[in-house]
Amino acid sequence: MNKAILTIICCMLCITTTFSVRGQEYNPIPVALPSLQIAPDARGGGMGDIGAATMPDVYSQHWNAAKYPFISGEGGIAFSYTPWLSKLVSDINMLYASGYWRFGDDKLNAISTSLRYFSLGDIEVGSLSDEFWQSISPHEFAFDVAYSRKLTETFSGAVTLRYIHADYSTGDDETTPGNAFAADISGYNESYFYMGRSEMLLGLGFNISNIGTKISYDGGNSSMFLPANLRVGASLGYPVDPKNTLSLSFDVNKLLVPTPTLASEDETDEEAQRRVEKYNNISSIGGIFKSFGDAPGGFREEMQEVMWSFGVEYRYDNRFSLRTGYHHENEYKGNRRYFAFGAGFRSNIFQIDAAYLVSTAQSNPLDQTLRFSLGFDIEGIRNLMR
């Protein structure tokens, strides 16, 4: 199998979901740029893709930007590298960078940003006679900026603005680069309570992400939905003793994208065309509201569209960490199910994390992939240089 064929398979994985059809009930929701949903950091990835309410860190921009006002540091930057389909090809990957800065006399405000670049590698595109034509490098790009503020002693909110660009152009007039704009709205609550003699940390968070325009790859003739998503999570931190801490976290996700109507056995070509056109004509904002009650299978199918993750993190002396988690997606909505394992180390200057994913259902693009992320604390670096 040559590289061009492998890349076509990768493009299909990135544009929709894996099509292991088990009958007409298999009805995944097609979205553009699913790479926007990839966990960029090894910490969240090592717990099964969790982060709505976990303790704040430099990677909170992806999970919930409202967590930044509660972070202990003044500022920080981080980088990560995520290979994709590494068992098949070596040049498909995601590069990610993020950073934040808390400001104001009381440090109640924070501004944060991130840059995401998903590369599909280099592809050799040939003519119908299989003669070499040109080499292209399809890619996806997203840049965002967020402002967050602590509104009360325990609650903070954030708004994120995002620019998205995707280029799958092959050099002809049929494909054009796509551009879109989106926003996130998020909130986070952090409070303490006593259970027996132990003071527990309870985190609650939500993030409505990628609320924005649709994106087109053919000059506006047709368009696709961005992966608008509702994420709600909770996290409970239990101090076993002064040096040992155990945290339990749980996230629930639902795509805020309309569910496509399945074709009937006796459907004509004209009826199929009208069905597809009706779906494509739904606006992005209308699709968000429609997504809560439009599944052809009714309430049962709506519940199948809910994904959930459960994760555990153990910390020793707030420096060494061990993590594990599980992510579940219904078999008729994509069937991405996997265990994740991770570890991390942090000092006053930097933090490094690693994660490893093991798929339990169909092949996952990140199955058996080891990934790393590296973060730096600005205040720690400043103190080191004094």
Domain membership flag for residue 118: yes
Domain membership flag for residue 163: yes
DSSP string, 215-272: B-SSTTSS-B----EEEEEEEEEEEEETTEEEEEEEEEEEE-SPPPPPPPTT--HHHH
Cα–Cα distance for residue pair 135/364, rounded to 1 Å: 27
Q: Give the residue numbers spanning the domain of 46.
A: 3-18+28-385
Domain membership flag for residue 373: yes
* CA atoms lying within 13 Å on the CB side of residue 384: 10
Domain membership flag for residue 228: yes
Buried b (16+ CB within 10 A) or exposed e, 318-356: eeebebbbbbbbbbbbbbbbbebbbbbebeeeebebbbb
pLDDT in tens, 186-229: 999 999 988 877 889 999 999 999 999 999 888 777 889 999 99
Model pLDDT, residue 8? 40
- Determine phi and psi for 95, rounding to 5 degrees: -105, 140
What residues of the chain score a pLDDT lower than 50?
Answer: 1-24
- Determine phi and psi for 138, rounding to 5 degrees: -65, 145
pLDDT in tens, 103-154: 988 899 999 999 999 988 776 666 555 555 666 778 899 999 999 999 999 9
What CATH number does residue 198 fall under?
Answer: 2.40.160.40
Domain membership flag for residue 258: yes
The DSSP secondary-structure symbol of 120 reads -
Domain membership flag for residue 23: no
Domain membership flag for residue 115: yes
Domain membership flag for residue 262: yes
Which residue do the tokens 């090592």 mark?
A: 46
What is the total count of domains within the chain?
Answer: 1
